[in-house]
Every structure is written in structure tokens, then in C-alpha cells.
């Protein structure tokens, strides 16, 4: 099945932003991109939720995107997070990402101010008319406080630069409705729902666990696309406890940063107001990684 954002089907990885002594660790960031290139990942997504974009300054935000684009050098796609609850700010970020060489923009729904559906449409329309790169509408009402309804997404799909939706509502009904109404490329925003979402027309995932197990996520996606549902289901069952804990033990990206530290890929602490896992949570995470076979 062909969809409009076909080039971004498969595994995209929501990169963490590494810190050292309180500042962005560009060297570690570039190592992450090389790791994903070696794995065969389709796309990397800097400065999204997993990249702690709410606590990055504008200058840091721009620097992370530039560093990722530079090291990617066309070898892997870059979908930069450029969302904001201010349309003017989102316009600046999206224009800058396009100018810096990003292949696409990942734009979260405006958060906190809870716009109407008309406001959602006008916000994304302003961005879509300002840049030529593809835009992925990121719908995560658990964080933003407001759902972008399927009918609104269908209206947005009429704009040529809006080609994808990151579906993080947790609702397969909503995803099914979007698949029925549009030809957008639907990407899962929840690792544990990637296979169910693909079964109803999704084309891949923007993944958190892909930071540590990209090969396994790719194997699951490829198995499903090849029609080997038994193998895809096997991978889903293996990955599920890991996916559950990366988003269930604490707020993302707290668990994934802790996991990377345990796996000798330390990316530094999260920034306040996020805090590290407590001792019991760390033990639970260590048990999950051990059961998976990584420790």
C-alpha cells in the first residue's frame, strides 16, 4: 500500500539529547546517529519529546538539529522536532530546520493553550504553507491536553506538504479512521502498538526503544511487510516488556536514558523538572534489560 510519506516508512528513532556537565554533548549525539545509520534505520528524529525539547533553549534546539543533519550527511533521513504552542515560534523553528537541511519536520500539536479544531487546522496550515519539506503531524493528547480529531487531520491531509501523522493517541479506532480518510503515512507514536497499528494500515514507528534495539524493531517491521505475521508477532511479544517499561516505569525519556547508561552508552542525566529513576525503578529496569538479554 502506497502512502504519501512513503519515504519515511519503517523505523524512525526519537533521539535522546545527551548532556555532559549540563550542556549538550554533541560528540555523543553524533555517535547516536552513526549507531542508527549502522543499524539501517530509516530516519532519526532529534529534539522531540524523547530529546527533551521543552528544556532546550532555542540556541540549543538549533544546534542539535544542525549537528544531526551534519553527521547524517544524507546517509539517513532527519525529521526534526519543530513544534510549539506558539504558531510564530513553530514557524521559526520549522523554517530554520528546513534551511539547515532537515528532510522533514515533526510538529507536535500546540500544547497547554488547548486550541479549537479550527485553531489546530490554522496552526498546521500556516506551517505547511511556509516550508517545502514534509510535515508530520504529531498527535499526543496525553501530553498536549487536546486531541486533533480525525476529521481535522483529514482536512490537513489536503495540504501537499502534510504527508505523515505520528499517531500517539493510543486509540486504534482513531488510527483506523485516519487510514480510511487519508493517504497519509501513519507512524506509531507508541512502541508497543507498532504492530497492531501496522495491521490497520500504519507504515512504521517513531520509536523510543529504537535507541537501544533498532535491529529488532526493524526485524519486526520487515517481517510484517513481507507477510510473515508469525515472525512479526514473535518480535512483538519479545519487544513488548521492553516497550512497556520504557514508557511505563516513568516519564519518557527518563527510562531510556537510564537504560542507555546501564548499557554503557551514557547520555547524561535528564534535565529538571525531570528526575532520575529511584532505586526500585532502576532495579525493575535492570531486570527487564537482563530478561531481554542485553545485560
Active-site amino acid positions: 138, 166
Q: What share of the chain is helix, strand, coil (3-state, %, to 5)?
A: 50, 15, 35
* 54 close to 83: Cβ distance less than 8 angstroms: no
E strands present in the chain: 10-14, 19-20, 23-24, 43-45, 77-81, 104-108, 135-139, 162-167, 185-188, 204-207
Q: Specify the pairing of strand 19-20 against strand 23-24.
A: antiparallel
Cβ-proximal residues to 37 (8 Å cutoff; 6+ apart), any chain:
72, 75, 76
* 104 close to 129: Cβ distance less than 8 angstroms: no
Place of cell 551514557: 266
Amino acid at each position: 500500500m502506497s502512502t504519501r510519506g512513503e519515504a519515511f516508512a519503517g523505523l524512525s528513532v526519537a533521539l535522546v539529547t545527551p548532556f555532559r556537565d549540563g550542556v549538550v554533548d554533541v560528540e555523543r549525539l553524533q555517535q547516536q546517529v552513526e549507531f542508527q545509520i549502522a543499524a539501517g534505520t530509516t530516519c532519526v528524529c532529534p529534539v522531540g519529546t524523547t530529546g527533551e525539547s521543552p528544556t532546550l533553549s532555542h540556541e540549543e534546539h538549533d544546534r542539535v538539529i544542525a549537528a544531526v543533519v551534519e553527521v547524517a550527511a544524507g546517509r539517513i533521513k532527519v525529521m526534526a522536532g519543530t513544534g510549539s504552542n506558539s504558531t510564530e515560534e513553530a514557524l521559526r523553528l520549522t523554517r530554520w530546520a528546513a534551511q539547515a537541511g532537515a528532510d522533514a519536520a515533526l510538529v507536535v500539536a500546540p500544547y497547554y493553550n488547548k486550541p479549537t479544531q479550527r485553531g489546530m487546522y490554522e496552526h498546521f496550515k500556516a506551517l505547511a504553507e511556509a516550508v517545502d519539506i514534509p510535515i508530520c503531524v504529531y498527535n499526543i493528547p496525553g501530553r498536549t491536553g487536546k486531541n486533533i480529531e480525525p476529521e481535522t487531520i483529514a482536512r490537513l491531509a489536503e495540504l501537499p506538504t502534510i504527508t505523515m501523522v505520528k499517531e500517539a493517541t493510543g486509540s486504534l479506532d482513531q488510527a483506523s479512521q485516519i487510514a480510511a480518510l487519508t493517504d497519509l503515512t501513519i507512524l506509531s507514536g507508541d512502541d508497543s502498538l507498532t504492530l497492531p497499528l501496522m495491521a490497520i494500515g500504519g507504515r512504521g514507528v517513531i520509536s523510543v526503544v529504537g535507541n537501544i534495539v533498532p535491529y529488532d524493531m526493524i526485524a519486526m517491521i520487515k517481517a510484517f511487510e513481507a507477510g510473515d505475521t508469525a515472525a512479526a508477532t514473535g518480535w512483538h511479544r519479545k519487544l513488548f516488556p521492553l516497550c512497556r517499561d520504557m514508557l511505563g516505569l516513568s516519564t519518557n525519556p527518563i527510562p531510556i536514558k537510564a537504560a542507555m547508561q546501564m548499557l554503557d552508552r551514557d547520555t547524561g542525566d535528564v534535565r529538571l523538572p525531570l528526575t532520575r529513576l529511584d532505586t526500585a525503578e532502576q532495579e525493575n529496569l535492570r531486570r527487564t534489560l537482563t530478561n531481554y538479554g542485553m545485560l
